[in-house]
């Protein structure tokens, strides 16, 4: 609702008065907004209504919102930059009897980022409710720095609801309680990590006496977690789950000898369930041919530390010699991976 529309709605009870003292009460349905703002209009003084870094946050694949402040009072003092919202020389009337003004501003500057900002095809909508006033955003979310002011009864609900690609999250800005939160987005650690280098010299032997004495391998496990995939949509049905994928490169073939791993057999992650595995890449270097394998696990969204085991098993096939060799000497690794 624009400022002009708000003036019209108020009828003979003008919600704003240019100059002089306010002598009339504002209409109970008064509301106005500003779609831009390069700085905070909120008081940082006595009222202490600027939200902490972790409050008023709602995130998704294609949006990242941070509420700068929420303030409810009958009169805003000069520590609020209300001219940014109302315009120069404009003053608010006293609210209607039994009402107060509630102000919401979205942070003009923050470092939060959506997980998939570059995806081109998706559906995104939002609703902001202050008491009886409702703002609908049919093709997006409130802009950073935007402000919304409404006349509302004391302690009226202030709710922000966002639907991204068919999944809805909402936050009660008075209590900071969320409903249907996608938990993985609110963990204070990164989305990727990796182990140190893992390496060994393996040996293998066939029943006819053929041997391989020095299959040297070196790899590292690369971890990534997620709940949404570009072009695939939501990857998990439950908001308290996420998928964790481990990728690693393996020296699969050398001069006709092939050590073809089953990644689901080579990698385990405690008792977590494997949902997918396979090959995602290959490359050649000299006599060696490499494959990049992946294993995907279903894990709790709140899980940060993972205990892995990497044990590459045989056999090795050597078609030119017509033999299959059993791996007799090798090394396995067990360790912990912590997302930072």
pLDDT in tens, the chain (340 residues): 333 333 333 333 444 444 444 447 889 999 999 988 889 998 876 555 788 888 999 999 999 999 999 999 998 888 898 888 988 778 889 999 999 999 999 999 999 999 999 999 999 999 999 999 999 999 999 999 999 999 999 999 999 999 999 999 999 999 999 999 999 999 989 999 999 999 999 999 999 999 999 999 999 999 999 999 999 999 999 999 999 999 999 999 999 999 999 999 999 999 999 999 999 999 999 999 999 999 999 999 999 999 999 999 989 999 988 999 999 999 999 999 999 9
CATH architecture of 192-338: Sandwich (2.60)
* Encoded tokens for 228: 């949404």
pTM (predicted TM-score): 0.86
The residue with tokens 């270097």 is 285
* pLDDT for position 26: 86
β-pairing, 305-310 vs 273-285, is unpaired
- CA 296 centroid distance within chain: 19
In sequence order, the β-bridge partners of residue 247 are 222, 294
Cα–Cα distances (Å) from 198 to 61, 98, 174, 218, in that order, read 33, 69, 50, 6
* Encoded tokens for 57: 């946050």
* 122, 164 contact by CB (below 8 A): yes
Q: How does DSSP classify residue 25?
A: B
* Encoded tokens for 307: 């205990």
First-last CA distance in the chain: 43
b/e 164-194 (16+ beta carbons within 10 angstroms → b) = bbebebbbebeeeebeebbbbbeeeeeeebe
In the three-class reduction of DSSP (H, G, I as helix; E, B as strand; rest coil), residue 84 is classed as helix
In sequence order, the β-bridge partners of residue 338 are 305
β-pairing, 211-219 vs 233-234, is unpaired
How many angstroms separate the CA atoms of 340 and 338, rounded? 6
* 130, 156 contact by CB (below 8 A): yes
User: If 0-12 CB within 10 Å is exposed, 13-18 middle and 19+ buried, where does residue 284 land?
Assistant: exposed
* pLDDT for position 7: 34
Q: How does DSSP classify residue 272?
A: P
In sequence order, the β-bridge partners of residue 225 are 244
Residues contacting 20, CB < 8 A, separation 6+: none
Structural domain spans, the chain: 3-181, 192-338
* 244, 269 contact by CB (below 8 A): yes
């Amino acid at each position: 609702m624009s400022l002009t529309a708000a003036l019209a709605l108020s009828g003979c009870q003008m919600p704003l008065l240019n100059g002089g003292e306010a002598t009339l009460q504002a209409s109970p349905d008064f509301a106005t907004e500003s779609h831009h703002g390069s700085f905070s209009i909120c008081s940082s003084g006595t009222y202490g209504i600027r939200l902490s870094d972790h409050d008023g946050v709602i995130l998704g694949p294609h949006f990242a919102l941070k509420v700068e402040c929420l303030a409810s009072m009958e009169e805003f003092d000069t520590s609020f930059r209300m001219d940014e919202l109302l315009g120069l020389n404009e003053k608010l009337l006293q609210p209607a009897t039994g009402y107060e003004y509630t102000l919401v501003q979205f942070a003009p500057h923050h470092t939060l980022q959506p997980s998939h900002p570059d995806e081109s095809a998706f559906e995104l909508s939002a609703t902001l409710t202050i008491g009886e006033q409702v703002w609908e955003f049919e093709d997006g979310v409130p802009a950073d720095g935007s402000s919304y002011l409404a006349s509302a009864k004391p302690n009226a609900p202030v709710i922000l609801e966002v639907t991204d690609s068919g999944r809805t999250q909402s936050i009660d800005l008075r209590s900071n309680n969320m409903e249907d939160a996608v938990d993985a987005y609110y963990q204070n650690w990164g989305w990727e990590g990796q182990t140190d280098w893992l390496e060994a010299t393996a040996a293998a032997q066939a029943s006819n006496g053929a041997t391989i004495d020095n299959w040297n391998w070196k790899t590292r496990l690369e971890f990534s977690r997620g709940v949404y995939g570009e072009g695939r949509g939501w990857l998990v049905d439950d908001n308290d789950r996420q998928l964790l994928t481990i990728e690693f490169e393996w020296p699969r073939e050398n001069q006709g000898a092939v050590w073809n791993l089953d990644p689901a057999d080579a990698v385990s992650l405690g008792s977590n369930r494997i949902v997918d595995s396979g090959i995602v890449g290959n490359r050649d270097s000299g006599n060696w041919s490499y494959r990049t394998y992946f294993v995907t696990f279903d894990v709790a969204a709140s899980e940060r530390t993972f205990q892995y085991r990497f044990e590459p098993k045989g056999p090795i096939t050597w078609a030119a010699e017509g033999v299959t060799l059993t791996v007799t000497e090798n090394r396995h690794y067990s360790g912990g991976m912590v997302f930072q």
